[in-house]
Amino acid sequence: GEDEAGGIDLKNPPKGPISLGFSQVGAEGGWRQANTESIKKAAERNRINLNFKDAGGDPKKQIADVHSFIDARVSVIAFAPVVETGWGEVLRRARDAAIPVVLTDRLIDEKDTSLWVSSIGAEFASEGNLAAIYLENDYVGTTGTVNVVEILGATGATPTKLRAEGFAATAAKTGRLNIIDKATGDWTKDGGRAAMRKLLDRNKRIDAVFAQNDDMGLGAVIALEAAGKKPGTAPKIVTVDGTKAALQGLADGKLTFVVECSPEIGEPLMSVVVDLFHGGRVPKRIESEKAVFDSQTAADALTGRTY
């Protein structure tokens, strides 16, 4: 009708303020910090009351935090899951309480997809695909297999699983990249350093490293330099995220490629929250843009990088 704006009948506006309960994975590194800042800034800009909780990487605490949002009767619940499993019970409780749930960044392993109204984040498998494609292209004109080691993120998280699957699927296509070993770096710089140290001990010839995030890749650089290697060249290093620190590492020649995963989920999340609050329809899936950087493009991108 004539009184409708954007499909919403404003004759009966819902009573504000809008409140959002947001449960974050933790503070494991640069990407996460930028993601938290994006969410806090966007909540403030959109006048949304943010109830922010940090799970500190603990899946049990995270579920307890989401229960507390239901108890507090927030308008909308959103969370970036530490792990994919264990969500059924608390999300059924949110549904019974008629509180819409939005997944951000990562996904959960639940058959009943009606437990969340929307998910916002990156396509992790294609990040793995891209990492392998760029690495492989760097060997065009040479012969022989390329020995690759992989530094994995924390076990049970969507990007850990899907980046590995994407990388392996692309590597398998030409058979040029040979994934010889993997170690867990838990997403952190220190974890990446320790994982690289282990991989160096276990493997004679490492031509390339695929680190599933920037922090672990930058940790690997430290371990490789300590072992007298020339990271970025021998071995080559590909990471995922695109933080300022990694772009700087690329520009300095210590990393080879960085596949971007945008942490800037705040604004798209708040627009979904506002739409839900007003009873509007929201897309089931919202995907982030990405790019791939090399030393040249990293130098250009560094100027405008805020995280």
By CB under 6 A, name the binding residues for ligand AHR. 28-29, 31-32, 105-106, 159, 187, 213, 240-241, 261
Q: Which is nearer to ligand AHR, 41 or 290 (CB)?
A: 290
Q: Which is nearer to ligand AHR, 23 or 213 (CB)?
A: 213
Report, in Å, the least distance between residue 99 CB and ligand AHR.
24
Q: Which is nearer to ligand AHR, 22 or 187 (CB)?
A: 187
CB atoms within 10 A of CB 239: 31
199-230 CB burial, b ≥16 within 10 A, e <16: bbeeeeebbbbbbbbbbbbbbbbbbbeeeebe
Residue type, 181: D
Q: Which is nearer to ligand AHR, 99 or 240 (CB)?
A: 240
In the 3-class helix/strand/coil scheme, how is 250-277 assigned residue by residue? HHCCCCCEEEECCCCCHHHHHHHHHHHH
Residue type, 121: G
Q: Which is nearer to ligand AHR, 29 or 59 (CB)?
A: 29
Report, in Å, the least distance between residue 1 CB and ligand AHR.
43
Report, in Å, the least distance between residue 32 CB and ligand AHR.
5
Which residue, among 295, 107, 232, 206, has the nearest Cα to 195 in the 3D structure?
A: 206
Q: Which is nearer to ligand AHR, 93 or 290 (CB)?
A: 290
Nearest-Å Rg of the Cα atoms of the chain is: 21
Alpha-carbon torsion, ordered 109, 115, 117, 118, to 10 deg: -10
Report, in Å, the least distance between residue 6 CB and ligand AHR.
31
Measured distance CA(218)–CA(143) in Å, rounded: 28
Report, in Å, the least distance between residue 261 CB and ligand AHR.
5
Report, in Å, the least distance between residue 212 CB and ligand AHR.
7
Measured distance CA(217)–CA(196) in Å, rounded: 9
Find the distance separating the first CA and the last CA of the chain, reported in whole Å: 45
